[in-house]
Amino acid sequence: MTSLKKTARLAGLLYLILDIPGFYSIKYVPSRIIVAGEPVVTAHNILAHEFLFRTGIVSFMICNILWIYLVMALYRLFKQVNEHQARLLVALMIGTVSIGFVIELFNISSLLILKGEVMKATDPGQRLDMAMLCLEIHRYGMAIFEILGIWFLPFGLLVYRSGFIPRIFGVLLIIGGIGYMTEGLAYLLFPGYHPAVLRYIGITYGVGELSIMLWLLIKGVREPKQ
């Protein structure tokens, strides 16, 4: 139990730390740079705040690296509960992280295009269109990234069956995984309704992630009932 508690608290600490670059790159930087329906303004913001834009890219990469360490800690914590589900958790999470790294290439590409470091023979209007295309691909990539929140399902099942973490947290994680998938699918299928979906769905995975993070960080694990 002592070893499990240390592993659980390490997982909780990693979860807390990665939330900082995650929020910065996914929420804060886009709110300062991206203006929906205004490509010229967005392009101006990227060039005027290039360093901020670059820090968003780096922060997201740091977040993804921390996710790898987190999922390995979770594997150590839950492999004795169900080896198959623990491996599925790792596989889905590594797939999610891989997509996260790939889609950031489109943010980098948009910056290079707008600065004229590539596509030098094209006129500014064409470069603007291509840069906006890269940003749009990045947004759709984030939707796929959210759909792969399906990794919350094996995570929730492992928590539910563990016996050393309250089952309610497992239920909340499963609901959160469904919320992530719903949000991603909404963007792919009904992009016009995505803001409304996000307003109501975001709380599902927010509550699940926050509750399990705090439990792991503060409590760790508890003695299973005989």
- Tell me: the pLDDT tens digits for 81-99? 999 999 999 999 999 999 9
* Confidence check: pLDDT of 226 > 60: no
Alpha-carbon span 195 to 124, nearest angstrom: 31
Q: Which of 95-104, 107-116, 126-135, 193-202 has the lowest mean pLDDT?
A: 193-202
Alpha-carbon span 72 to 10, nearest angstrom: 11
Alpha-carbon span 38 to 59, nearest angstrom: 25
- Tell how far CA 101 is from the center of its chain: 11
Average pLDDT over residues 99-115: 94
Contact 75, 104 (CB under 8 A): no
